[in-house]
Amino acid sequence: MYINVIGAGLAGCEAAYQIAKRKINVKLYDMKPKKKSPAHKSNNFAELVCSNSLKAERVCSAAGLLKEEMRFFDSLLLKCADKAKVPAGGALAVDRDIFSKLVTDEINNNEFIEVVNEEVTKIPDDAITIIATGPLTSDKLSEDIANTFGNSLHFFDAAAPIVTLESIDMECAFYESRYGKGDGDDYLNCPMNKEEYEVFYDALINAQRAPLHDFDVMDPKVYEGCMPIEVMAQRGKDTIRFGPMKPVGLTDPRTGHRPWAVLQLRKENVSGTMLNLVGFQTNLKFPEQERVFRLIPALYNAEFIRYGVMHRNTFLNSPEILRNDFSVKNSPNLFFAGQITGVEGYMESASSGIIAGINAANKLNNKPSVSLPETTMMGSLSKYISDSYVKNFQPMGANFGILPELENRPRDKKARGQAYADRSLSDLNTNKSEVLF
């Protein structure tokens, strides 16, 4: 007896790991290295194709609470992330190559997991199956899913460029985390005065964008969490200056004052030789990226070792299709997990893989399905994607707004977040025997 897991991304690896923990054989299918999506470059599993940040670590934040809940379930990805982490202030960021290799090694060395390097073009019917092919599901399998369920949707995602540290003009940059958080050198800041910013802004909104080719360019649904910087800029001259280029909490040592705008660079690897342009996901043509981003003084001679790209993301109309255990309503032997279900974000995707993996294993062993308390972030996300009352369904990431209201809601934001976290972790522990069997 075995369970199929289709896709060795974040959700697929978590699902396979949870099933294997229960001493059930897994066939983990992944089309790499024979075939890759437009956004994937590495042959390793759990490849991070957008940011290398897994968001905030502090448990009183929505992202931090989600990760703490995942640790409760012995998350494979968080164990690997802890070993591959790079400094990022209050966030958990990783060296993406080390992270992916650690996950790949764990999967390949697991005696209960058989890796099958083949493209799956149709929904399997030979065993209980979890489809975790992500937002870049291959065309043939996407077609079969659409034909089976209909109402599949899509939107666009974008990745930020990466530059080398040695190419940055350090006379025009400085290390500092906002409000002094972190170790002080987690972010390299590239400040701009008002005149420099306005020249950059005009160039940005008028720059040429890359054609989307096979995408539906008539009505793109822009993924808010990874909106291209040039799209955001068109909403107004100060939009990005109050967004990814906000200067608050920073002081330019050259002037002793807060800059007009700031681009922050974050380490992409442990050594810090590669830097990610934080919040600068883009669909500009490659030469335009160099021309426009080099208008930022510190990037005047920047060496771009990866350009920003934009790619298709596909997700289901999950409220019509899925239960809160991530199984299909009219096909209980079939599960979905990851961003294809409409959860938004790396850890959100991985957490859905945990739930789908546990429930697929329970299905095989004739055990009841596990539903997490809605007071938990994982439980609320699974409830949201399966809520038949949700109309005009769009992806959802971890946030306190989807949790039930607190009985005695603190007015202070940090205290309120801590109260949400305390309630969630208490409810998980209270239901430990039910959710971990």
pLDDT of residue 218: 37
- Which is more confidently placed, 190 or 432? 190
Choose among 355, 377, 363: nearest CA to 17: 355
How many CA atoms does the CB half-sphere of 180 hold within 13 Å? 0
Residue positions counted in the chain: 437
Q: Is the pLDDT reported for residue 213 higher than 60?
A: no
Q: Which two tokens stand for residue 185?
A: 């050198």
Q: Over 222-256, what HEC string results? A: ECHHHCCHHHHHCCCCCCHHHCCCCCCCCCECCCC
- Residues of the chain with pLDDT > 70, as a percent, come to 92
Q: Where in the chain is the domain with CATH 2.40.30.260?
A: 159-312
pLDDT of residue 217: 45
Q: Which two tokens stand for residue 382?
A: 């699974």
- Distance CA(339)–CA(137), nearest Å, equals 10
Classify domain 2-152+316-435 at the CATH topology level: FAD/NAD(P)-binding domain (3.50.50)
Q: Is the pLDDT reported for residue 182 higher than 70?
A: no
Calculate the average pLDDT of the chain. 90
Residue with tokens 């539903």: 371
pLDDT of residue 417: 95
pLDDT of residue 199: 98
Please check whether residue 29 is in contact with residue 4, taking contact to mean a CB–CB distance below 8 angstroms: yes
pTM for the model: 0.79
- Which is more confidently placed, 437 or 404? 404
- Residues of the chain with pLDDT > 90, as a percent, come to 70
Q: Which two tokens stand for residue 169?
A: 């003009």
Residue with tokens 């437009």: 38
Question: Residues 6 or more apart from 119 whose CB is under 8 A from it?
Answer: 31, 34, 35, 138, 140, 141
Please check whether residue 298 is in contact with residue 168, taking contact to mean a CB–CB distance below 8 angstroms: yes
Q: Is the pLDDT reported for residue 157 higher than 50?
A: yes
pLDDT of residue 38: 63
pLDDT of residue 422: 97
pLDDT of residue 152: 66
Please name the amino acid found at residue 294. Answer: R
pLDDT of residue 224: 62
Mean pLDDT of 290-311: 92
Classify domain 159-312 at the CATH topology level: Elongation Factor Tu (Ef-tu); domain 3 (2.40.30)
pLDDT of residue 256: 94
Please check whether residue 29 is in contact with residue 118, taking contact to mean a CB–CB distance below 8 angstroms: yes
Please name the amino acid found at residue 381. Answer: L
Between 203-207, 332-336, 388-392, the lowest mean confidence (pLDDT) is in: 388-392
Please check whether residue 308 is in contact with residue 129, taking contact to mean a CB–CB distance below 8 angstroms: no
Mean pLDDT of 140-157: 80
Mean pLDDT of 168-187: 83
Max distance between CA atoms of the chain, in angstroms, equals 68
Q: Is the pLDDT reported for residue 93 higher than 80?
A: yes
Residue 390 binned pLDDT confidence (cut-offs 50, 70, 90)? confident
Q: Which two tokens stand for residue 117?
A: 């390097």
- Which is more confidently placed, 136 or 144? 144
Axis crossing angle, helix 346-364 with helix 10-21, rounded to the nearest 10: 30
CB atoms within 10 A of CB 436: 12
Q: Which pLDDT tens digit goes with each residue over 337-388?
A: 999 999 988 999 999 999 999 999 999 999 999 999 999 999 999 999 998 8
Q: Where in the chain is the domain with CATH 3.50.50.60?
A: 2-152+316-435
